[in-house]
Every structure is written in C-alpha cells, then in structure tokens.
Structure 1
Amino acid sequence: MPALDIRGCLEDSPTFRRRIQSHEDSINNFEQSLKTVVKLTRAQVELSNVYSEQQKELAREYMSFAQAQDDPIVAQALEKFGKTMFDVEKNRQMLSTHIMESFITPLDTFMKNTIAPVKDLKKKFEKSSDDVDSALSKYMSKKPKDPTIHESAKELADSRKTFYTAYLEYVSCLNDLEAKKKVDYMENVSN
C-alpha cells in the first residue's frame, strides 16, 4: 500500500480520509490474519507436545518390554527402537521451542508493540476530530457581537492545533506500520 502523504493532513479532504480508511482496513485485515496464524500455530505446537509425550510413553514401554525379554537380540532391538523414538521426540520438542521463540513470540510482540499503539492513536485522532467539530459548532452558533465569541475562537484554534498534531502523528504511525509490515513481519516469517 502506498504511503500516505503527510500534507494530506492539512487539507483533510474526503479523498485523504478514504485513503486513511484503506490503510486502517489493511491493518485490521493484517492483524486478523496474524491472530489466526498465531492461534493455529500455537494450537499445532500444543498438539505436537501432547503427541510427543504419548510417543515418549510408548518408547518407555518398548524399553521396559526390552528388559523383560529372554532373547538378547530382541531385547537389543526393542531397546534401540525405544531410544530412537526418544531422540525423535527430543527433536520434535526442539522444533516446537524454535517455533515458539522464532515465530509466535515475535509476532505476538509485533502485534502488541506495533499494531496496538496505532489503535490508541486512532482513538486520540478521532477524539480530537470530534472536539474540533464541537468547537466549530459552538463558534458558529455565536453572534458576531457575543462577548464570548473570542473565547470560542480561542477554543476552536486550540482544538484545531490538537487535532492537526494528532492527525500528523496518526498518519505518520500508519506509514511506519506499513513499512514495518514489509520489514519486521517478513523477517519473522522468513527466519
């Protein structure tokens, strides 16, 4: 998705607002996809761990059964088979640990540290937008000779200043997130 031009904040046109909405939709879809992938991967790791424990139990049974054998060749074969199963499960556990540390944890961190702050900035931006609308409505409802019109004008100016600051911060954060999606996310997926 192309970056948002910061100058669009000054114009605050409907077209620019639609572009922001497109970015927000893209982020929401991306976040939902990430949550689904993390959830499914975490479930797969849990299933793998349960399976691994059952396989270890079976391996112990083979080794126990091997000790009860009179024939040393059969005993040795069963013992070796049980130890091989333990080795396979040890590797499976290493894979599960690697998936957690290299995939799930970084993606959870990405969602928490990169996507969540954008949502907080969106709330701040929307509140400041509502505040400007309220201040403008209040100012426009004043008569030219109303003694409180200067107070309303100051309130409107302050609201606009807060709005544009929040607007710039929000759009900048949206652009940063788009860049991080391309770099940070792909780095975690491709490792």
Structure 2
Amino acid sequence: MTVKLDFEECLKDSPRFRAEIEVVQNDVSELETRLDKLVKQCHAMLEAGKVYCQTSKSFINGLRELGHHCSQDSLMEECLDTFSRRLSDIVDAYGVRDFLFTSFILTS
C-alpha cells in the first residue's frame, strides 16, 4: 500500500517547524511555572499583610488603653491618642489597598 504525501504539508510540518514549536512550548511552560510561583508569592504576601494589619490593630488598641490609663497627664494622653489615630489611618489604608489588590488578583 502506497501513501501519497502532499509536498506542501511536508513543508508545513518539517522537523525544523516541529523544533520551533517545541521551543515555544518550552517557553510557555516556563512562563506558566514562573506565573504560578508569582501567584503563590502574592497570596503569601497578602496573608502576611493580613497578619500585619491584625497585629497593628492590636498594638493600636494597646496605645489607646495606655492613653486612657494616662488620663492624669493630658500631654501624654493627647500624644498617645494622636499617634494611635495616625497609625490607625495607615493600617486602614493598608486594608483598603489589600482589599483592592485581592479583588484584582481574584478576578484576573
């Protein structure tokens, strides 16, 4: 039994073409691996950020409690209150940023 080969098909599917396809497939595979690693690092960063925010909120509450404890010294109370409010603003900004970043990552 004789098989007829179309010359144009042979040119389209040559060994060189297959080698080029293999190179591109390897590049895509490496890119996928790197992207998977990057996504895992991003999730780890977000988790660390959540822990940081929770710890910071606990610290802020400690500052506020100390400020209430120092109610006899108005300067100390005012300084601790101002510091805790400013730190709270920073932590809240991190929370908003993390929320937006997480929303972007999860929808992508």
| CA–CA distance in structure 1, aligned partners of residues 91 and 52 of structure 2 | 9
| CA–CA distance in structure 2, aligned partners of residues 82 and 9 of structure 1 | 74
Give RMSD over aligned pairs.
2.0
Q: Which runs of 4+ in 1 moved over 4 A?
A: 7-10
| CA–CA distance in structure 2, aligned partners of residues 9 and 91 of structure 1 | 61
| CA–CA distance in structure 1, aligned partners of residues 48 and 9 of structure 2 | 49
Q: Alpha carbons of 1:17 and 1:72: their partners in 2 closer, same or farther (altered >3 Å)?
A: same
Q: Alpha carbons of 1:40 and 1:81: their partners in 2 closer, same or farther (altered >3 Å)?
A: same
The count of residues paired between Structure 1 and Structure 2 equals: 100
Residue 61 of structure 1 corresponds to which residue in structure 2? 62
The offset of 1:11, in angstroms, is: 3.0
Is residue 78 of structure 1 aligned with residue 92 of structure 2? no
| CA–CA distance in structure 2, aligned partners of residues 9 and 56 of structure 1 | 68
TM-score with structure 1 setting the length: 0.48
Instruction: Tell me if the contact between 1:8 and 1:16 (Cα under 8 Å) persists in the aligned partners.
Output: no
Residue 87 of structure 1 corresponds to which residue in structure 2? 89
TM-score with structure 2 setting the length: 0.81
Gaps of 5+ in 1: 1-6, 110-191
The offset of 1:39, in angstroms, is: 0.8
Gaps of 5+ in 2: 1-7
Q: Please give the per-residue CA displacement for 1:75-117, whole angstroms capped at 9, x wherever unaligned.
A: 1111111111111111111121222223x335xx4xxxxxxxx
| CA–CA distance in structure 1, aligned partners of residues 26 and 96 of structure 2 | 37
- State the structure with bigger RCO (CA 8 A, min sep 6), 1 or 2: 1
The offset of 1:64, in angstroms, is: 1.1
